Amino acid sequence: MSKLVPPHGGKGLVCCLLEGDALKAELEKAKGLKQVEISSRAKGDLIMMGIGGFSPLDGFMGKADWKSVCENMLLADGTFWPVPITLDISAEDAAAIKPGQEVALVRNGETMATMKVDEIYEMDEAAKKFECENVFKGHGEDSEKFWDVAPTDHPGVKMVLAQKPFNMAGKVKVLSQGEFPVKFKGVYKTPAELRAEIEKRGWSKVAALQLRNPMHRSHEYLAKLAVEVCDGVVIHSLVGALKPGDIPAEVRVKCIDTLIDKYFVKENVIQAGYPLDMRYAGPREGLLHATFRQNYGVNRQIIGRDHAGVGDFYGMFEAQEIFDKIPQPAEEGKRLLCEPLKIDWTFYCVKCDGMASMRTCPHSKEDRVILSGTKLRKFLSEGKEIPDHFGRPEVLTILRAYYEGLTEKVEIKMQKAASGASM
């Protein structure tokens, strides 16, 4: 009997990935189906449905699920789910495809899945704005002037507004895990694989650290705090697509390997990767991270300052506060069982002579080295000196080598929290 938290939804791991003879047969059948080109985001979503990471989802959402998730963070059947998982298609494809038809979902020449189409529904400008306001709007300064700045400054909003004008819904049969098992061999893990590794170690209380930036001292501190109160921590990196200016997964994985090797008790930490693209949905994305990590066997999601945020769209601890406001379905299997591990703003304090937080350090911000992934990327991209105690020297060596090799650099916009102005 597993000691780990059960998968979300009450149905066990719902895996849509075909294998063996069934996979071969479906790939052959797909050759004769209408081909629908999908986005990078949809590719990651498909893989997560394939490996059980999005349990209990077995396909892209229809209009009823989409609307209910946007408004209430619930699927139409009452299961908690915080972010829409939808597949956008062109007007031409919408006109050519009928409900009941089977289609092949293709990304850059690779057949990723087949779908039995249940529904096609229009996403006009009003519908896209409805999704953006419900999913991406927060309580930070930028959200007070949301439609003045979000269409140009919020990558998640830009992504939704740029979607094709229809969504197509239906159950999927997933035919590929893309490049991830080979490109990130040993790091990329399915929920079943990670659960097996966690159980082999005898853990039952498991925390996850979400990463889309290279690990700096604050990340390291968060992970070690989690190890102190749990059996172990999973450093769980996004290895899908990011916005321009973010650091590629290969570089981040190398940094984490170096940190684990030199600064962690290896028996208490696992590095793993998952195949999604970032949505930059702030608090809602924090909930999504907890939801799919429950499927990976994690029951505590570390939530620090500005989790999954962008710009100044969200309050510094809005991603912590949202966990106290989510719906609680009567049926346990439909509730979110992965709880937040809320940790205050962390930094290095010169007077404390160590890592600290707003709860433990009595000193002024002049005594503190304010740590953030955005600030680190900005310093590196501009060739500036990195302040003492910001990152481990071995990691900074890797990052400097990456930035020195870039031929084009993206301007990094600093939000107030990352600069320490809000402290």
pLDDT value at residue 241? 78
* Contact call for residues 54 and 11 (beta carbons, < 8 A): no
Please, how many CA atoms are within 13 Å of residue 247, restricted to the half-sphere of its CB? 31
Per-residue pLDDT of the chain (423 residues; tens, 9 = 90+): 789 999 999 999 999 999 999 999 999 999 999 999 999 999 999 999 999 999 999 999 999 999 999 999 999 999 999 999 999 999 999 999 999 999 999 999 999 999 999 999 999 999 999 999 999 999 999 999 999 999 999 999 999 999 999 999 999 999 999 999 999 999 999 999 999 999 999 999 999 999 877 788 889 999 999 999 999 999 999 998 777 777 888 999 999 999 999 999 999 999 999 999 989 999 999 999 999 999 999 999 999 988 888 889 999 999 999 999 999 999 999 999 999 999 999 999 999 999 999 999 999 999 998 877 777 777 888 888 888 888 899 999 998 898 888 766 655 454 555 555 555
Q: Which segments of 34-163 does DSSP mark as H helices, in order?
A: 40-51, 63-72, 91-96, 125-135, 141-144, 146-153, 155-161
Relative to beta strand 346-349, strand 354-357 is: antiparallel
For residue 113, tell me if it sits in a domain: yes
Model pTM score? 0.93
Query: How does DSSP classify residue 277?
Result: P
Catalytic residues: 212-213
User: What is the H or E stretch that residue 236 is in?
Assistant: strand 232-238
- Per DSSP (E only), the strands in 246-388 are 269-274, 300-303, 339-342, 346-349, 354-357, 368-370
What's 160's domain CATH number?
Answer: 3.10.400.10
Relative to beta strand 102-107, strand 110-122 is: antiparallel
C-alpha dihedral over 350, 352, 355, 360, to 10 degrees? Answer: -130
For residue 216, tell me if it sits in a domain: no
For residue 337, tell me if it sits in a domain: no
- Per DSSP (E only), the strands in 255-391 are 269-274, 300-303, 339-342, 346-349, 354-357, 368-370
Which range of residues forms the domain containing residue 131? 20-174
Candidates 132, 159, 134, 274; CA nearest to 209 is 274
For residue 119, tell me if it sits in a domain: yes
Query: Strand pairing partners for 237?
Result: 211, 273
Count up the domains in the chain and report the number: 1
DSSP letters for 149-202: HHHHH-HHHHHHHTS-SEEEEEEEEE---TTHHHHTTTTB--HHHHHHHHHHTT
Q: Is 379 left (phi over 0), alpha (psi -120 to 50) or beta?
A: alpha
Amino acid, single-letter form, for residue 63 = K
Dist CA 397 CA 401 (whole Å) = 6
C-alpha dihedral over 168, 172, 178, 184, to 10 degrees? Answer: 110
Candidates 114, 212, 213; CA nearest to 168 is 114
Amino acid, single-letter form, for residue 201 = R
pLDDT value at residue 419? 52
* Contact call for residues 69 and 75 (beta carbons, < 8 A): yes
Dihedral sign for Cα atoms in the order 51, 54, 58, 59: negative
- What are the distances in angstroms from CA 22 to CA 19, 74, 258? 6, 33, 40
Amino acid, single-letter form, for residue 233 = V
User: What is the H or E stretch that residue 23 is in?
Assistant: helix 20-30
- What are the distances in angstroms from CA 265 to CA 196, 218, 260, 372? 20, 17, 7, 24
For residue 81, tell me if it sits in a domain: yes
Dihedral sign for Cα atoms in the order 234, 240, 243, 244: positive
pLDDT value at residue 408? 65
Tokens standing for residue 144:
């007070």
Query: How does DSSP classify residue 267?
Result: G
pLDDT value at residue 17? 98
Dist CA 253 CA 398 (whole Å) = 11
- CA 246 from chain centre, in angstroms, equals 14
Greatest CA separation for the chain = 68
For residue 280, tell me if it sits in a domain: no
Residue carrying the six token digits 């990340």: 219
pLDDT value at residue 148? 97
pLDDT value at residue 260? 95
Tokens standing for residue 30:
């797909």
For residue 84, tell me if it sits in a domain: yes
For residue 381, tell me if it sits in a domain: no
Cβ-Cβ contacts under 8 Å for 2 (sequence gap 6 or more): 195, 199
Tokens standing for residue 228:
């102190």
pLDDT value at residue 359? 93
